[in-house]
Amino acid sequence: MKNTTSGFDPHHKNKETSENTLAASDPQQVEDLLLKLMAFRGARALQVFAELGIADLLQEGPQSAAQLAQATGSHELSLYRVLRVAAAQGVMEEIEHQVFAQNEMSSYFLSAHPAGLRYQAMMLGASYDSGAALKLDECVRTGKSAIQKLYGSSIWEYLAGHPGESLVYNRAMTALSGLDTLPILQGYDFSTFRSLVDVAGGHGFFLFSLLKAYPALRGILFDRPQVISEASMEEDVADRCSLLAGDMFAEIPAGADAYFLKHIIHDWGDEACSVLLNKCREAMPKHSKLLIVEVIMPPTGARLLDTLFDLAMLIKQGEGAHERTRGNFSSS
């Protein structure tokens, strides 16, 4: 009988498809996507870098992994592997094998940097924050706060019961305030005001900077009791500034020429914001102005950083808290 075998390979089609798929793959795109998928590990390395105060230690000059391990009480090889990840992201430099030096990027992790990121990194690495981020899938399904799900309380109630984490949180907010304080001072004329209340003003970085820029202005720093207890008055504005603790949803200090809310509205849903704004109105004389600083999200094409801040609102506060578009503000 004639052999009719044609040499058919049942796997030929799959093999061809696989080869075509590989040929169509862009190795650089695949690597970029892998880096995004593994970004949490890179961020965690930077958080450990911050928690251990490595940038402060490098102020004295280049140090080896062994020296840094001894100074921080760490396992030398494990610390080196973390430091290598930080250096690969541009934070400090490995100038020779296992020897690291400060650079411009790592200097932002100095404890004393006015707009530094050390406390931001420590906050993001804290178990309540990173643990809540891992519950993002539940936030997506329910619209509810992951903090509420994990701890049975709001983020503010949680921080009130954890003073150490509250201090790091508020120092992180102070550092972020350092990023936009100068543009605000350069972009708005506060000279028409004799008095201003900074509502939920944290540790006072913005208000103290404002008072230094306007020597005739008097200010009130108003925030929750725990936050005010952590704040330190700056001597050169002490005669024109008061620290006042209270609940902004109950009563706000009355009679000032201006009321200032910076990155406060995004923490709350529309109903809570309406209560807060009405409390401001009750406190304001007829001539007073309300000044609000917030991110305005575009309808499309938002910056990645702004979308991540918005996601943090969802995780910590639930669906109501969000970065708003201009239309959201108009319709609220």
Residues designated catalytic: 266
Cα 184–Cα 202–Cα 164 angle in degrees, nearest 5: 140
- The dihedral built from the CA positions of residue 132, 136, 137 and 140, taken in this order, carries a sign that is positive
CA–CA distance, 144 with 228 (Å, rounded to integer): 29
Q: How far apart are CA 232 and CA 204, in angstroms?
A: 8
Of 316, 54, 273, 55, the residue nearest 173 (C-alpha) = 316
Any idea what DSSP says for residue 202? T
The answer to whether 82 touches 47, Cβ cutoff 8 Å, is: no
Q: Which residues pair with 221 in a beta bridge?
A: 198, 243
Q: Cα(227)–Cα(201) distance, rounded to whole angstroms?
A: 9
Distances (CA, A) of 297 to 181, 184, 196, 228, 306: 20, 18, 27, 31, 8
What is the spatial distance between Cα 165 and Cα 67, in angstroms, rounded to a whole number?
Answer: 28
Q: Report the alpha-carbon angle 181-230-261, nearest 5.
A: 35
